[in-house]
Amino acid sequence: MGDYLSVAAELVCGLGILFVILKFLGKTQFSQITPFDFISALILGELVGNAVYDHEIKIKEIIFASLLWGLLIYLIEFITQKIKGSRKFLEGEPSIVIHRGKLKYEMLKKNKLDINQLQSLLRQAGCFSIQEVEYAILETNGMVSVLQKSDFGNPTRKDMNLPPQDVSLPTTLILDGEIVYDNLQEAGVDEQWLRQTLKKQGIEKTEDVLFAEWHANKPLYAVTFEESRFS
């Protein structure tokens, strides 16, 4: 009877620890899971699962190991939030696998993705032909985001007898108070234009901007740190 009570106590303790850690780490453990998040979740579950069936391991050791692992994952998440340069290394970065309707074979090869897998991901995104895709971006969680050609939108311009229209991607110009210079060049604008545009919106410093996005034929969209705190 004592063994059953011990297993029950360890299960309840492990469940409580997992619940606290997952609440502490946030919803990205599942809603936006990356390969690193997936591995961390597996190890966290294994720590508790193995401890339940190993009677030589005490509850104190389960708590210590689980909390230490949770703390390590939290520190990594904290680093990726505060140090932008670490995100690419720890979380990876999105890859454009279809650019302006053309397959980027080198990107597919780099991400170990074959054509059949790409077609499957496109179908899951609601696109059943590569020919309909203007841009396809492989996200860090393994899913594909799709921007269809204008002729295949919903409703389609072709159905409405309208001429084809160029499709462009929104471009992030400022992230966490830092100007993304590569994206400035990609958008065809310069830093002076960016600062002047921000001033017209009442923003004096780029360091005050949490996020700024440029999209062709649309005004610059900018959100300051202050706005994000009180929104």
pTM value is 0.53
Domain 171-230 has CATH 3.40.50.980: no
Packing angle of the helix pair 2-25, 35-53 (nearest 10 deg): 160
The more confidently predicted of residues 48 and 191 is 191
Q: What is the pLDDT of residue 37?
A: 63
Asked whether residue 219 carries a pLDDT value surpassing 60, the answer given is yes
**Strands, E assignment, the chain:** 95-99, 102-103, 133-138, 144-148, 171-175, 178-179, 209-214, 221-224
Position 30 confidence tier, pLDDT thresholds 50, 70, 90: very low
Class of domain 94-152 (CATH, top level): alpha beta
For every residue of 70-118, DSSP letters joined together read HHHHHHHHHHHHH-THHHHHHH---EEEEETTEE-HHHHHHTT--HHHH
